[in-house]
Amino acid sequence: MAAAAVAADSKIDNLRDAVAKLGEISENEKAGFISLVSRYLSGEAEQIEWSKIQTPTDEVVVPYDTLAPPPEDLDAMKALLDKLVVLKLNGGLGTTMGCTGPKSVIEVRNGFTFLDLIVIQIESLNKKYGCSVPLLLMNSFNTHDDTQKIVEKYSNSNIEIHTFNQSQYPRIVTEDFLPLPSKGQTGKDGWYPPGHGDVFPSLNNSGKLDTLLSQGKEYVFVANSDNLGAIVDIKILNHLITNQNEYCMEVTPKTLADVKGGTLISYEGRVQLLEIAQVPDEHVNEFKSIEKFKIFNTNNLWVNLKAIKRLVDAEALKMEIIPNPKEVDGVKVLQLETAAGAAIRFFEKAIGINVPRSRFLPVKATSDLLLVQSDLYTLVDGYVIRNPARVKPSNPSIELGPEFKKVANFLARFKSIPSIVELDSLKVSGDVSFGSGVVLKGNVTIAAKAGVKLEIPDGAVLENKDINGPEDL
């Protein structure tokens, strides 16, 4: 054990010397990075003792429908909202969907991007209640420049928009544990943003946290910019202020599509996030079961700003480290990340709130885009509202083949988005395109044979169909 500790110390010393010479990042970033790597090498990760895991009670994970209604008085509403800040995690690129630039500028609905919708929502809140809820965007070095240009178009809106960057850390070369940029990899590939757990130190390091506290702000609502369901909820804000909860994670009932999502547990008297990576192999199936672990983390978080300041200053936010091995130009590298949800166990009176599924509507792929662009939803004041004509509580399951993966290809294959209000499942593979006014109902599978171009004609109504060629239409 002693030999391993000496080897770890030697690695850290060499890494620290190499990082000290990197001119591209701040002293804060260097210190944060070395601290993260030191924790990783020390193997401090606590093993979860499976037998100690308890299902949280309704006091710990509060059912949404038990929350008291917010005050009806307009002045009281304004006073509540004036304590709030909205922060969107905007570090991601739309590369998965074949887009360059920040994911938040992909058009989602009626020509509006994620960012447009977020701005419209907060504008209508500020207008309705006469409050001033600011919007913060946490960018990464990948999205910063583009976002700065995009934000200019909102200069006449009634919102204060702040941007700040999350940390930029060097990727570590696995072979000798030295930073990739010190090996001559000077481009963006040498660096990585260390996950959204970095939101707390970055908010502080950027000076934004002190500014917000000086303005009398008390709570920040943090959410992914691609989650269309993550809208300001005054009932939740009111509950947290009334009960002085420093941290709240929105969770929602698990479906079979969410079995890998992190869940909340009670552990040694505190509420804690349990991620699949922490689960011993022999318990993975149990973790994925909907019976035992019924809820999962939506990554909609409400956090008290003073508490963030207290914990960051005390360097107390030691979240579980997620090692993420990658390869850059044939070189094996390691990046260490943390997740914001894991911070829950460090805050006082931390709770979960079991919210309706409508508050979790992420767009991770073009199959999600199909859902939100369809007649399953309408757009009101920037809010994506579910069509009441949809009887089933869950959304249809949609699987689109690789031909639809990129947004440009996806859009080219639909003259108009089909009606899917009565759809249960859709699977599409091969060279398939859709005419306008197509209606899909029940379970529909469309699989074009190799080398065959399959066009679904205008106005076609497909119900419980299995289509392999034009003859099946």
Q: Which string of DSSP letters, residue by residue, matches 269-313?
A: TEEEEE-GGGS-GGGHHHHH-TTT--EEEEEEEEEEHHHHHHHHH
8 A C-beta contact, residue 87 and residue 222: yes
State the pLDDT at residue 262. Answer: 93
pLDDT bracket for residue 215 (50, 70, 90): very high
Per-residue pLDDT for 127 more than 90?
Answer: yes
Distances (CA, A) of 92 to 88, 116, 139, 382, 465: 11, 16, 8, 21, 37
> For residue 381, what are the domain limits?
366-472
pLDDT at residue 393, rounded to an integer: 86
One domain, residues 137 and 209: yes
Q: Mean per-residue pLDDT for 380-393?
A: 92
13 is in an annotated binding site: no
Do residue 9 and residue 111 come from a single domain? yes
Q: How many CB atoms lie within 10 A of CB 209?
A: 23
pLDDT tens digits for 415-431? 999 999 999 999 999 99
Query: 173 and 268: one domain?
Result: yes
Based on the fold, state whether residues 331 and 397 are members of the same structural domain: no
Domain boundary among 332, 359, 386: 359
Q: Tell whether 192 and 222 lie within a shared domain.
A: yes
> Do 168 and 249 have their domain in common?
yes
Does 103 show up as a binding residue in the annotation? yes
- How is residue 79 written in tokens? 């006073």
166 is in an annotated binding site: yes
Amino acid identity, position 109: R
> Do residues 156 and 70 share a domain?
yes
Q: 420: helix, coil or strand?
A: coil
The answer to which of 2-11, 15-24, 112-121, 419-428 has the lowest mean pLDDT is 2-11
CATH for 433: 2.160.10.10
Check whether residue 146 and residue 287 sit in a common domain.
yes
Task: With a cut of 80, say whether residue 243 has pLDDT above it.
Answer: yes
Its pTM stands at 0.95
The verdict on whether residue 195 carries a ligand-binding annotation is yes
What's residue 1's pLDDT?
A: 52
What CATH code is carried by the domain that includes residue 168? 3.90.550.10
Pair 347, 376 in one domain:
no
Token pair 């059912």 is found at 63
Please check if 239 is assigned to a binding site: no
Q: Which of 359, 391, 423 is the last residue of a domain?
A: 359
Q: How many domains does the chain divide into? A: 2
pLDDT confidence of residue 433? 97
Q: What's residue 108's pLDDT?
A: 93
Residue 116 is labelled as binding a ligand: no
Of the residues 303, 332, 359, the one at which a domain ends: 359
Tell me the C-alpha distance between 228 and 109, whole Å: 11
In this structure, the answer to whether residues 372 and 223 fall within a common structural domain is no
Looking at the fold, whether 347 and 202 belong to one and the same domain comes out as yes
